[in-house]
Structure 1
Amino acid sequence: MAERVPVSGTTRLYAVLGDPVAQVKAPGLMNPLFDRLGLDAVLVPVHVAPENLAATVRGLSSVENLDGLLVTVPHKAAARALADTESTTVTVTGTANAMRRNADGGWHADNFDGSGFVRGLRLAGHRPEGRRVSLLGAGGAGSAIAAALLTAGVSRLAVHDPHASRLSALLARLERYWPGRSAATVPEALGDADIVVNATPLGMRAQDPLPLPLSALAPSCLVADIIMEPRETALLRAAARRGHQVHHGLHMLEQQVDSYREFFDLR
């Protein structure tokens, strides 16, 4: 294992912005990457309430040794509006989970949640091509996962979100790029899904209800969660007890590390 590079006056800074941040796993993946590469850099969690996000990003823009930001719940849609330039993925999804400095000091936004999720599925032996997928959650990560699944070739994507305007906006964006392949659904109508994905925050807290009725699922349905802490969410535990294959949230983040390395030009 590479020796930890000590934090000093020459250290380059990266931050992961969220509310809360106790659950974030990115520092545990990115800081070892910095060490392996011998980089004088550190990623730290920064707890920012939604009403303070814009002021925080503006303030961080003046920190001259800060090179990049990662963005987690619930800031991914708001972060997109704070970027000066954006990737096509951000345009399609309406959300961002990574921001780097442009040459002029502004922010360039991208989103790797969806590609990370799909790569994680494939590495676990669950190929999405031709499958029917039901997605719960049209927020930051959910929108990115929706676009990535359609890119990967799912035959049908059904999306549910209790926020009607957020759901309709996502479906309208998806329709422009993949006409006729996505539609709204409700949690009770999941019986024909081959894969169901929880992209909501439900499951981060012990008192949260299950995001979907497991009794509605076919026995062969794969149940995936994108929550990383706890690793074994109540949904995944309950699904496993009913005999479903399950897919854990950490896979999505682990498969984004190479994308972050390229995005931030870490070498």
Structure 2
Amino acid sequence: MDIDGRTRVIVHLAYPSAHLQTPALFNARCRERRINAVLVPWEVAPADLATTWAALRNASSIAGAIVTIPHKETAAAHCDALEGVAAELTVANVVRRDADGRLTGRLYDGLGFVAGLRQHGYDPRGRRTLLLGAGGASTALAQALIEAGVAELVIANRNAARAEALVGRLRELNPSARIATGPADATGFDLIVNGTSVGLDGDPASPVDIATIARGSMVADIVMKPAMTPLLIGAQARGAQIHQGVHMVAAQIDLFIDFLIGDAAAATETQRPALRLA
């Protein structure tokens, strides 16, 4: 698809941005669907997000933004409206700009993550689950995993107060669910999920002690670059199943497109995405 004067532009807000792979997936899907739109990375420091937001409102060619680390919670606060689980959690990973400059946010990370797991043959229902992190991405994953029926959700975060705050919000939304904070120790867990940026783009660290990962458990990482993070490499060596970060994003691409430049009403939080990634 050629870029011309009618091309709808979506910006991918991140800091840093060198690791982003969503633009390649998004733009390829737009070509497949013959949609005149393009997603471009914007590396924006947290201190500059507010001024960048003003540019989004005032540029008529902008259809909206996809939002990633570290902006998901801050972006939600800048929106004029939040829909669905984004309103419940005050986190957004996609923002649509309407013709009048009004900005509406939604959150598809959790839906995409659970859909990606299921598309690759793993159902989180009934699993004892350890979630590493309590930021914007982890908040979305936590709610989605609870809605998917995990038996128990334990959240581990370096900032314990932030983990406790997230657990409190989740308990309000899900009073019957088993939710707690705990250490970054995978002992006894069926599903271990990294919702942090640990392991990103050359970082040699793991968010959990790999020696605590049991053979046969499932270890999922939302980090996309590298595809095989230190956590996934270590988990595979331990005999665990692994699930790569690209699957969460791939399961959201059609939802992003429909919400930003297609049929927003069709991009519901229960819609199964059409895109599949081998």
Counterpart residue number, 2:222: 226
12, 37, 52: which is aligned to 2:8? 12
Q: What amino acid is the match of 2:93?
A: N
- Which consecutive residues of structure 2, in runs of 5 or more, have no partner in the other structure? 264-278
Q: What amino acid is the match of 2:204?
A: D
RMSD: 1.4
Aligned residues of 1:92 and 1:147 also touching (Cα < 8 A): no
Aligned residues of 1:93 and 1:170 also touching (Cα < 8 A): no
Give the stretch that moved more between structures: 8-17 or 112-121. Answer: 8-17
Q: CA deviation at 1:217?
A: 2.5
Count of residues in Structure 1 that have an aligned counterpart in Structure 2:
262
Q: Is residue 2:180 matched to residue 1:183? A: yes
Counterpart residue number, 2:129: 133
Query: Helix, strand or coil for the counterpart of 1:7?
Result: coil
Counterpart residue number, 2:69: 73
CA–CA separation in structure 2 for the residues paired with 1:88 and 1:169? 21
Counterpart residue number, 1:164: 160
Q: What amino acid is the match of 1:105?
A: G
Task: Normalising by structure 2, report the TM-score.
Answer: 0.90
Q: CA deviation at 1:120?
A: 0.6
Q: What amino acid is the match of 1:79?
A: A
Query: Helix, strand or coil for the counterpart of 1:127?
Result: coil
Task: Normalising by structure 1, report the TM-score.
Answer: 0.94
Counterpart residue number, 1:109: 105
CA–CA separation in structure 2 for the residues paired with 1:262 and 1:207? 34
145, 152, 156: which is aligned to 1:149? 145
CA–CA separation in structure 1 for the residues paired with 2:34 and 2:21? 21
Q: How does 1:248-259 map to 2 (within 5 A)?
A: 248-259=244-255
Aligned residues of 2:115 and 2:248 also touching (Cα < 8 A): yes
Q: What amino acid is the match of 1:185?
A: G
Give per-residue Cα distances to partners, 1:152-209, cap 9 Å, x unaligned: 1111000011123322221111101212421101013x31210000111110142432
Q: What amino acid is the match of 1:171?
A: V
Query: Helix, strand or coil for the counterpart of 1:16?
Result: strand
Aligned residues of 1:92 and 1:173 also touching (Cα < 8 A): no
Aligned-pair identity in percent equals 39
CA–CA separation in structure 2 for the residues paired with 1:216 and 1:32? 39
Give per-residue Cα distances to partners, 1:218-242, cap 9 Å, x unaligned: 3221111110010011111111111
- Which consecutive residues of structure 1, in runs of 5 or more, have no partner in the other structure? none
Q: Is residue 2:65 matched to residue 1:44? A: no
CA–CA separation in structure 1 for the residues paired with 2:145 and 2:207? 20
Query: Helix, strand or coil for the counterpart of 1:135?
Result: strand
CA–CA separation in structure 1 for the residues paired with 2:167 and 2:86? 15
Q: Is residue 2:237 matched to residue 1:237? A: no
Q: CA deviation at 1:265?
A: 4.1
